[in-house]
Amino acid sequence: MVTYIEIYGKQLVKLFNELEFATKSLDFVCILVYTLILITGVTVGVLVIVWLERKVSAGVQQRVGPEYAGPLGIIQSLADGIKLLLKEDVIPSKGDAWLFTVGPAAAVIPVLISYLVIPFNQSIILSDLAIGVFFWVAVSSITPLGLLIAGYSSNNKYSFLGGLRAAAQSISYEIPLALCILSASLLSGSLSTVDIVETQSKYGFMGWNLWRQPIGFIASFISSLAECERLPFDLPEAEEELVAGYQTEYSGIKFGLSYVGSHSNLSASSPFVTILYLGGWDSSIPFLENLGQDSYFPEYSSKYFHVLMSGLGIITTLSKCYLFIFFSILTRWTLPRVRVDQLLDLGWKFLLPIASGNLLPTASFQLLLLN
């Protein structure tokens, strides 16, 4: 009798272990699927941003822009990507081949990792970390290291100078950006991106941090442009001064990865500005709150209402993001490029004191509320 019990016990233990392994395997497959969907979405978003920048720039300059590759030229970016994939990959004879390959990858991979903490809706997020916003700051600060590696490994003084400019620019604007993020987080009492949006959505449109932190919003907007190396802060790759900067010796898809990193960084910065200051997925439409309860089909209304609100949240978030991108593109054709000394002065002498001065009253006010 004892022997049968032991046999059945061992079989049950084996069955439970197999079920646990199957559960872990299923979780692993789900993570891979979600990651693949995210990378695909980011890639498509980059193609859309490139097309949008070309069309908006053409409109500003009163020209047509891309129009032959697909309707309105919508697949022009895809055609350029295929062309870069087919081009020859040339490595400088006296450069470091291994670092030359790692540089573009180190500039793109951290940007893709930062999408882990971006919520497009309350439940549409890969990882709701308790330190989500600082995770983005920490990960995005790795990108200039990839640019510096790319410039150094090329064995070209112009490329190395472009990499050094990228590092100096990043250090100058990472600190004010982090202080602005901390100010917005203090108002929400959390570093989670989901909690920051939910705190703003409690009070509707007037509860957005844009109205409570206008100085921080302006400083974050400027720092985000410098972080993404957008005009007027594109000194690391200023064609007129540096012969394309750190990517001078690159060709083929490695040359394209530097632009992919720049545009994907812009597409990552715009959701964070939206989350921190523009209410994220909050659309502030009052009648939608009771739409599900007022339906004539209550047994189906809750499910359909949840799907409706999820879709509305995604559309709202993307609309705010692309509004930020639109203004970033307009800024490119409005302001002239600054000199490197002006760029550093703006970061250290103006934005850093402004961000610090914005943080101190915010922290003091929050302490008064707690007491």
**Pair of tokens at residue 169:** 């620019």
Mean pLDDT of 204-217: 85
Which pLDDT band holds residue 293 (cuts at 50, 70, 90)?
A: very low
Q: For 301-310, what is the mean pLDDT?
A: 65
Q: What is the pLDDT of residues 308-319, one digit of tens each?
A: 777 788 888 888
Q: What is the mean pLDDT of residues 163-192?
A: 85
Q: Which residue has the tokens 């991979």?
A: 109
pLDDT tens-digit readout, 95-137 = 888 888 888 888 888 888 888 888 888 777 877 788 888 888 8
49-58, long-range: CB within 8 Å, 24+ apart, which pairs? 49/263, 49/266, 49/267, 49/325, 50/77, 50/80, 50/259, 50/263, 51/76, 51/77, 52/322, 52/325, 52/326, 52/329, 53/329, 53/332, 56/326, 56/329, 56/330, 57/329, 57/332, 57/333
Total domains in the chain come to 2
Domain boundary among 61, 85, 109: 85
User: 20 pLDDT exceeds 80?
Assistant: no
Q: Are residues 212 and 339 part of one domain?
A: yes
Same domain? 250 vs 131: yes
Residue ranges making up the domain that contains 79: 30-85
* pLDDT exceeds 50 at position 12: no
Report the mean per-residue pLDDT for the chain: 79
| For residue 1, pLDDT beyond 50 | no
Q: What is the pLDDT of residue 286?
A: 52
Q: 72 with 163, same domain?
A: no
Residue 213 to residue 358: CA distance in whole angstroms: 8
- Based on the fold, state whether residues 69 and 146 are members of the same structural domain: no
| Residue at 204 is within a domain | yes
Average pLDDT over residues 211-227: 87
Inform me whether the pLDDT recorded for 35 exceeds 60.
yes
Do 80 and 92 reside in the same domain of the chain?
no
Indicate the residue among 67, 85, 103 that finishes a domain: 85
Burial of 237 (0-12, 13-18, 19+ CB in 10 A): buried
Write the pLDDT tens digit of every residue in 251-264: 888 888 878 877 88
Is the pLDDT higher at 83 or at 297?
83
Return the pLDDT at 249: 83
> Does a structural domain hold residue 368?
no
Percent of the chain at pLDDT exceeding 90: 1
Same domain, 197 and 78: no
Q: What are phi and psi of 98, to 5 degrees?
A: -70, -50
Q: Is residue 1 assigned to a domain?
A: no
249 assigned to some structural domain: yes
Instruction: Give residue 245's pLDDT.
Output: 74
Do 69 and 125 fall into the same domain?
A: no
Residues 81 and 122 in one domain: no
Identify the three-state secondary structure at position 124: coil
Query: What type of residue sits at position 155?
Result: N
Sequence-separated (6 or more) residues with CB below 8 Å from residue 213: 180, 183, 184, 187, 277, 358, 362
The answer to whether residues 250 and 146 touch, using CB atoms and an 8 Å cutoff, is: no
Percent of the chain with pLDDT over 70: 83
Contact status, residue 183 vs residue 213, Cβ threshold 8 Å: yes
Q: What pLDDT shows up at residue 190? A: 83
Region 179-206: mean pLDDT is 85
Predicted local distance difference test score (pLDDT) of residue 305:
60
Distance CA 9, CA 1 (A): 12
pLDDT tens-digit readout, 233-243: 777 666 555 56
pLDDT of residue 7: 55
Is the confidence at residue 68, as pLDDT, over 50? yes
